[in-house]
């Protein structure tokens, strides 16, 4: 499916609330994202991306290819796309959607250019010095068809199960790490693939994630994308429910969504994490799969028991597990009192964020710095 210039021509120029700038097509500005990639300031508001790299979109010059890409895929689904440079080193470019449609990742990226800064701090402390020697490339290479696809086998491996829009995959890859990103939802995969291209990364899409690399193979891919559900039930097809409104990141296999989020159901094959990683060591494993974490870890028995996973970051989602008939005992950190503190933290953070220039920095509010002294330097 070639991207038609008519997809861009219907866009009207306007400036919506909270800083997003939407640029109209046929206005002398190329809107394939090149303008975002060449702007090195992380405090700029998001710009609309209206067509794929290598397409004309009326203002980008002659049509150079008949490619069909992630922006075309998203536009045909009625999904809007914006991009901006994140407000954290090494300042990668990331695509996201209308914050009014996605109230979590897209809202945070638009307002402050970052999210989950506690986990970002973990990534930087664990991976920063180790991955730095392997860092190369620069955003902007995609527009010229450049970039790189491989990295040294010595580069630390990061496995991102539940990559979502690709925020942590981008962070790890732009730091110089080797990354395996696992994401089953086509909509999220489209955002991820555009962002990787915008940062000069040509990922390898694994059609058979269980296959071993050929003997004597060259350097491995810098980023491998596995379009599967990780589960201990390997070789099956599972249904995942994905909201079109609200918090997109709550896509889950339990189909636990209120009807007002307009969920869609997608059938995706499964694969075991041990079969993806095989005998490799993992510098950092991140798992965020909305309540399906026990199944993911059961699929990674060899990786975990062997100690080859050096660091593990995962989300615990109370409520979802019971619906999957996989309850685990409550964690001390997840109590009613802790949730009340979380609600107060959210209020402080929102009040602080809305008083900032969009994307200028990603600081802690002073109330949270006092309560989290260990992270005050972040």
The conformation of residue 21, written as its DSSP 8-state character, comes to: B
Evaluate if residue 36 carries a pLDDT over 70.
Answer: yes
Q: Locate the DSSP E strands across the chain.
A: 47-48, 82-85, 93-96, 157-161, 178-182, 204-205, 223-226, 229-230, 237-242, 264-271, 284-287, 312-314
Mean pLDDT for the stretch of residues 173-177: 94
| pLDDT, tens only, 273-320 | 999 999 999 999 999 998 888 899 999 999 999 999 999 999 876 665
Report DSSP letters for 111-163, one per residue.
HHS---HHHHHHHHHHHHHHHGGG----TTGGGGT--B-B--TTSPEEEEES-
Lowest mean pLDDT among 64-78, 318-332, 356-370: 356-370
Dist. CA 185–CA 162, nearest whole Å:
9
Evaluate if residue 196 carries a pLDDT over 70.
Answer: yes
Per-residue confidence (pLDDT) for residue 357, from 0 to 100: 45
Evaluate if residue 177 carries a pLDDT over 80.
Answer: yes
CATH architecture of 116-328: 3-Layer(aba) Sandwich (3.40)
The 3-state DSSP class for residue 328 equals: coil
User: What pTM, to 2 d.p., does this model score?
Assistant: 0.77
Contact of 83 with 47, CB cutoff 8 Å? yes
Higher model confidence: residue 8 or residue 222?
Answer: 222
pLDDT band for 217, please (50, 70, 90 cuts). Answer: low
What the block records as the tokens of 220 is 């491995």
Per-residue confidence (pLDDT) for residue 342, from 0 to 100: 64
Query: Mean pLDDT, the chain, as a whole number?
Result: 77
The residue ranges of every structural domain in the chain are 116-328, 336-375
Provide the percentage of residues in the chain whose pLDDT is more than 70. Answer: 65
Residues 6+ apart with CB under 8 A from 343: none
Per-residue confidence (pLDDT) for residue 275, from 0 to 100: 96
Query: What is the three-state SS of 25-38?
Result: CCCCCCCCCHHHHC
What the block records as the tokens of 74 is 């998203």
């Amino acid at each position: 499916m070639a991207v038609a210039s008519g997809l861009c021509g219907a866009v009207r120029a306007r400036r919506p609330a909270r800083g997003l700038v939407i640029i109209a097509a046929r206005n002398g500005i190329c809107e394939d994202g090149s303008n975002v990639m060449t702007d090195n300031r992380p405090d700029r508001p998001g710009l609309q991306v209206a067509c794929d790299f290598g397409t004309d979109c009326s203002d980008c010059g002659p049509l150079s290819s008949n490619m069909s890409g992630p922006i075309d895929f998203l536009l045909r689904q009625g999904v809007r796309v914006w991009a901006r440079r994140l407000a954290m080193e090494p300042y990668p470019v990331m695509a996201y959607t209308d914050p009014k449609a996605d109230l979590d990742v897209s809202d945070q990226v638009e307002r402050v250019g970052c999210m989950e800064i506690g986990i970002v701090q973990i990534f930087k402390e664990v991976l920063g010095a180790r991955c730095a020697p392997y860092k190369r490339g620069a955003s902007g290479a995609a527009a010229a068809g450049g970039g790189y696809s491989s990295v040294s086998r010595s580069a630390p491996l990061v496995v991102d199960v539940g990559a979502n829009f690709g925020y942590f995959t981008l962070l790890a890859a732009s730091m110089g790490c080797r990354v395996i990103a696992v994401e089953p939802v086509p909509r999220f995969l489209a955002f991820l693939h555009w962002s990787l291209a915008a940062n000069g990364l040509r990922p390898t899409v694994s059609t058979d994630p269980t296959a071993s690399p050929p003997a004597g193979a060259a350097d491995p891919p810098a980023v491998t994308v596995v379009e599967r559900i990780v589960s201990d039930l390997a070789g099956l097809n599972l249904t995942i429910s994905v909201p079109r409104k609200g918090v997109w990141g709550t896509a889950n296999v339990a189909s636990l969504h209120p009807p007002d989020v307009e969920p869609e159901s997608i059938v995706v094959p499964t694969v075991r994490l041990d079969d993806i990683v095989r005998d490799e060591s993992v510098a950092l494993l991140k798992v965020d799969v909305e309540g399906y974490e026990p199944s993911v870890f059961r699929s990674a028995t060899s990786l975990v028991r062997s100690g080859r996973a050096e660091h593990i970051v995962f989300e615990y989602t109370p409520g979802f597990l019971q619906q999957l008939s996989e309850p685990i005992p409550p964690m001390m950190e997840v109590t009613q009192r802790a949730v009340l503190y979380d609600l107060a933290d959210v209020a402080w953070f929102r009040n602080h964020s809305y008083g900032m220039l969009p994307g200028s920095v990603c600081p802690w509010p002073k109330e949270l710095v006092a309560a989290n002294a260990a992270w005050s330097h972040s």
